[in-house]
Structure 1
Amino acid sequence: MELTIEKLTKRYGDKDAVKSVSLNLTPGVWGLIGANGAGKTTLMRMLTGILSPTSGRILYDGAEISVLGERYWDRLGYLPQTFGFYPEFTVTDYLEYISALKGLTRHQAKRRICMLLELLALDDVRKKHIRKLSGGTQRRIGVAQALLNDPDILILDEPTSGLDPGERARFRNLLSEMAQNKIVFISTHIVSDVESVATQNAIMKNGKLIGIPKQAGCCRLCSASG
């Protein structure tokens, strides 16, 4: 399983938000580190199909995602920086709603929701309204919705925003467990969120990849160009 990014560029007017980024991602945790405004979110929104690139290609196992369409999106989980929900939704209501949008049967949804509530320490808030919960808890709910369809590719945009140190540690452990059979691509401006669990990290600035820190293990990013 591979997600290949070839010279991906996104241009707005005369400004390149993402400039000729190339990466080759295989199962494991891949960190994308950069300050706000570096282009991380734009890159991730292109990987999900929300944005169309100005130039370049995104391939899933050798096929362009624009051609694969739903066959790609069915294998994708995405946590944006902010996610919306109706004010009256409880945690369970929200996850059942997202499960229906993702095409899960009621039986599949019930099984996945129960498993994820336990995995992400959300079982005690399952009947509470999301709007009344802390930012960190809401973030964990966002991670849960991204995992509902048991995706092969998990794209997480600043997933630890609002989490306390203990929650960050638990999240890193969860990433390590998930990465055994998934491509997990996580953006962050906090190096410690990914440095101990990432297969490889890349640094992004002004829309370009500017550095690939040396790391044990796979080094596929070492040939990336920006």
Structure 2
Amino acid sequence: MSPRAGVWVLLVALAIGACTPPSPAPTPAERYARWHRTRAVAADAYLGYLRTHGVADVLPPQQLLRSARRWRGCADEEFAVPPQSQWPTMVPTLRLVRELRGAGLLDRASVGSGYRNPALNRCEGGAPGSKHLSNAALDFDLAPEDGLHQRLCAYWRMHGAARRFGLGFYDSGAIHVDTAGHRTWGYDYTRRSSLCAPPPKPSRLGESKPHRRG
């Protein structure tokens, strides 16, 4: 082959390569399957434990074992198995999630974060006492749905004390669910900023002042 012909062959090969569409990004299920190949023993033991308590089917494994939204930026893994001593704390939380889904409250929600190790929790911006550290909490990303927050709050008020339902709201639209105590909070981690908090009482009898943002 002459040098000129070789150049043409190279140019054609480069053109074909440039026109080849990139491979599609792996789905969460595919990423989980790849991770599971090297973590099968620990993951299957945890799922087996949850199965004995009747809650292994509440969430798909790729959601249940999701570590944190910022796992890439935190140089951690997307999925994680909690320490065995903390397996029991997820059981009542999954029972609550099943009830919430049965009530039509989390049907379209997906898990953004479950168990976090201490280093990942700090990188994610979690509180030092976060219930994610003890495997008692799940954060859900909610699909847009009219009236969903109001219905979640109504459920929390009616059943929260009996379920030890902790319900948090974040600016991103995500929510936090745990069974570590009946409480609620919002963007500043206090009850007053929760969407479930009652409206402020008027400063004077029969008089209401408009809310002002600081």
Normalized per residue, the structure richer in helix is 2
Q: Which protein shows a greater Rg?
A: 2
TM normalised by structure 2 equals 0.29
Q: Whose strand fraction is larger, Structure 1's or Structure 2's?
A: 1
Which structure has more relative contact order (CA 8 Å, sep 6+)? It is 1
